[in-house]
Amino acid sequence: MTRSIAATLALVLTLGSSSPLAYLKLGAMLNGRIIDATWKQQPIGYFISDRPGNSVSVADLRGAVDRAAATWSGVGSANVRFNFQGMTSAPAEGTDGRTTLGFLDRPDLDRVLGSTSFMIDTVSGAIAEADIFFNSRFAFSVAAGGQPDRVDLESVVLHELGHLLGLGHSAIGETERNSSGSRSVIGSGAVMFPIAMASGAVAERALHADDIAGISDLYPAPSTLGTGGIVGRVIKNGRGVIGAHIVAFNPETGILVGNFSLNSDGDFVIARLPAGPYILRAEPLDDAEPDSFFPGPIDTDFQVTYAPRMVVAPHGGSSPRIEIQVRAK
Amino acid sequence: MAAVAQEAPALRAGGFTVGAGVVWSGPYDIGDATAELRGNATGETPHAFTLFTAKSRVTPAISPELRVGYGITPRIQVELGVAFSRPRIAVEIARDAEAPSQRLPGEQLQQYVIDGGVTWQLPVWLGARVGPRLAPFVSGGATFLRQLHEDRTLAETGQVYYAGGGARYWLRGADGSGRALGLRGDARVNFRMKGIDFEDKMRIYPTLSAAVFVGF
């Protein structure tokens, strides 16, 4: 007997509505337990809807999907493969047993560039089907160097394919509020950051270390055996902090990888790190809306705090547990 | 000059010395790093956004040292030394828009060094004014360096090459009669390659040591 649930994740241009169920990895809640949602069979077959988009053709979309899929497949430390199975007249939504990517006109989602929906077997954690729509309310571009006033389609496809693979949103990024109250990105450390770059930007066609660590954790290749994890706890006034964002920075390689404290004890795990010493920075989740990451309330009332010392991710295994004590703002 | 050299104390050719003392190692930087986010601008490589900067350095440390020497000639001695110390890696955080600049206490290393080198006692006699028992020397050699991070989950190795000098002061046996006993002071300039370093650069730092030696 297979039970399925539906989930949706979206990439927003600025602050927008979405109904996520995700941490670093996409999770399905079953009887109070979170299970990782992944594809159990590969290659992941997909269809492309023949509905044209705004200012780009279906062929442009297929090209962007091919390139973005190749980017994810090219991660050496992960086993990810895709297989284009053909064009379809079906829309990129609904439950039909096919994974479909395509344009949809969604005027009701005036901040959402694209969105991924899933059917997940909550017994096995297998993703049974996923559809991605790209909102044809927006003018997209596939120009190599980008186009002003148009959103780079390949960057959006890359983000949504990350969701399709089972990744949730990353919080490695900085934003600022503009006069209208929405957010604009200052800098991003992950393709899976939930808020898109400005129109014309094309830098997010390439994955960051955080994306690579996440996908390697979901679909580990043999080469991940040499990676290590950092485990620890974030506490405030002697109690665990839920929802703290912890970023690990390797001063030798410059990579940034993050994750959250996910329970009321404040426990966190940052997995699949290349071995080496890391500086840890704990911050409140204040650069995106918390409900883009967590279905429930989290603690954002604390100051940015560094771990008192560097922590080593060993070759295989995990570090001893480190404690980061934060103070209220 | 030959007459002067005859009056300076010297180690015995073919004899061993054993020494024990303490060594102070000076601090040295191991790298500046910037945690950067990809900037939000057009183009494939937009200007990065700085999340914070980290300047790391190995702090000074004092450690015990053991040293064994063998006199090839009265003036030239080859020697082997071992030392253990526990310096810290201190990290200075700056340019974080959401946190003040600060120095983190850092992790404590376990550092082992094994050095092999040579000392050459200078053919000078400092005379009665400074002391007839004092003999200066110059030294040089190489060191094997092993550094373990605080959690002992990762070890890194390196090499240190050094040059320096010092002096031995004989408390007894300066005239070659009986067993030599004395004090020794060293000052070295060290050129470190590899080991824990975030920029993979050669680092230069001083060491000073003081020891007691016994001749056999």
pLDDT in tens, B118-166: 999 988 776 666 667 889 999 999 999 999 998 888 899 999 999 999 9
Q: Both ends of chain B: CA-CA distance in Å?
A: 28
Question: Across-strand partners of B115?
Answer: B81, B143
Residues of B at the A interface, defined by Cβ within 8 angstroms: 31, 33-46, 48-49, 51-52, 54, 56, 89, 91, 93, 96-99, 102, 104-108, 149-151, 153-154, 196-198
Read off the pLDDT of each residue in A230-248 and give the average, rounded to a whole number: 96
Quick one: closest CA in A to B154, which residue?
A314
CA distance B200 to chain A (A): 9
pLDDT above 50: residue A15 = no
Percent of chain A with pLDDT over 90: 64
How far is the CA of A164 from the CAs of A39, A96, A311, B120, in angstroms?
9, 16, 32, 71
Quick one: closest CA in A to B91, which residue?
A309
CA distance A195 to chain B (A): 11
Amino acid at B172: R
Two tokens, residue A1: 């007997």
Residue A177: which pLDDT band, with cuts at 50, 70 and 90? confident
Is the Cβ of A70 closer than 8 Å to some Cβ of chain B? no
Are the C-beta atoms of residues A64 and A102 closer than 8 Å to each other? no
Candidates B43, B102, B107; nearest CB to A310: B107
> Residue ranges of chain B with pLDDT lower than 50?
1-6
pLDDT above 90: residue A119 = no
Is the Cβ of A304 closer than 8 Å to some Cβ of chain B? yes
Q: In the prediction, which pLDDT does B151 show?
A: 82
Quick one: closest CA in B to A318, which residue?
B153
Q: Which of B30, B51, B108, B148 to mutate to test the interface with A (most CBs of A within 10 A)?
A: B51
Quick one: closest CA in A to B197, which residue?
A252
pLDDT above 60: residue A199 = yes
- Collect contacts of B141-144 with beta carbons under 8 A, ≥24 apart: B141/B79, B141/B115, B141/B116, B141/B117, B142/B115, B142/B116, B142/B117, B143/B113, B143/B114, B143/B115, B143/B116, B143/B190, B144/B113, B144/B114, B144/B115
| E runs forming strands in chain B | 16-25, 28-39, 49-58, 61-71, 76-85, 88-94, 102-108, 110-121, 134-148, 155-172, 181-194, 203-215
Q: Is B32 helix (H, G, I), strand (E, B) or coil?
A: strand
Q: In the prediction, which pLDDT does A316 show?
A: 86
ipTM: 0.87
Read off the pLDDT of each residue in A295-319 and give the average, rounded to a whole number: 92
pLDDT above 90: residue A230 = yes
Q: Give chain A's length.
A: 329
The span from the CA of B68 to the CA of B81, in Å, is 6
The span from the CA of B60 to the CA of B88, in Å, is 8
pLDDT in tens, A49-103: 999 888 899 999 999 999 999 999 999 999 999 999 999 999 999 888 899 999 9
In 3D space, the residue among A279, A257, A151 whose CA is nearest the CA of residue B53 turns out to be A279
Q: In the prediction, which pLDDT does A291 show?
A: 77
Predicted TM-score (pTM) of the model is 0.88
CA distance B4 to chain A (A): 55
